[in-house]
Structure 1
Amino acid sequence: MDRKPRILVVEDEDNIAVALDYLMTREGYDHDRVANGADALSRIRATHPDLVLLDVMLPEVSGYEICEGIRMDPDLADVKVLMMTARGSAIERRKGLALGADGFISKPFELKDLREEVRRLLGAGV
C-alpha cells in the first residue's frame, strides 16, 4: 500500500479524541475527526476512509445508526467500522456486529489493544 490508510474518528469526548489522535499520528495514519453523529455520514461519504473509529454514544445520531448507514451504502462497502463504547456489554457488542461493524472495543481501552484492532482491520501485520 503506497498511501497511508485514512481513518475517521467519530468521537464527541475531547479527551478520548486527543488520545486517539496521538495514537493515529504515532502509527502514521492519515486521520480526521468528527465530533457529532449528524456530520459523520456526510464526512464518511466525502472522504471514504479505510476505517471509521465510531463511538456508539454520540449527540444527535447514534453510532449504531451511522454504522447502519455505512452498510446500506454500496459505495462504502469496503469501509471498515470499529465501534467503541463505554457500555461494553455482550448485548451492545452483538448489536454493533449485527449492524455490520467489523470490530468492537470497550472504553476505557488500552492503546495497545486499540492499535492491534486497527491493524487487524486494516490488514496490516501486528
Structure 2
Amino acid sequence: MSSSKQPASKKTFQVPEDNPMNSDNEKPRPSLSQEEALRRLDWLTNAVTQLTNDKIELINTLKETREQLEAQKVELAKQASIKQPDQPDQPAQPAQPAQITYGKKSGEVLKPTKPTPFDGTTTKL
C-alpha cells in the first residue's frame, strides 16, 4: 500500500438558473469548483455587510437631519413669537358688506342698460 496522499477531488456545485423552466432545449448547468463557490459566497457576504453598514449610516444621517429640522422649526417658532408682540394688535377687519344697490330685490341679478347705437358724435365717448 502506498502511503502517499492522493489529490483531493474538487467538489463542484451547480449554479441555479435565474428562471428555471422545464423545456426540451435545456442546456447543461455549468459546474463551479468549491473554491469558486466559496469565493462568490464570500463576495456576496461582503456585499451584504457593506449594504447593511450603508443602511445604518443612512438611518443615522436621517435621524440627525430630522433632529436638525426639528431644532430649526422650534427656532423659527420662537422667532415668530418674538416678532408678533412688536406689531400693534389690530382688531380683525369686519367683512365689508356687499354694495347696496337700490331698486334691486335680494338675489336679483342686475343687468347693465343696453347701449344705444353710435351716431358718430365723438363727445359722447
TM-score, with normalisation over the residues of structure 2?
0.16
TM-score, with normalisation over the residues of structure 1?
0.16
Higher percent of residues as strand:
1
Largest Rg, 1 or 2:
2
Which structure is richer in relative contact order (CA contacts within 8 A, separation 6 or more)?
1
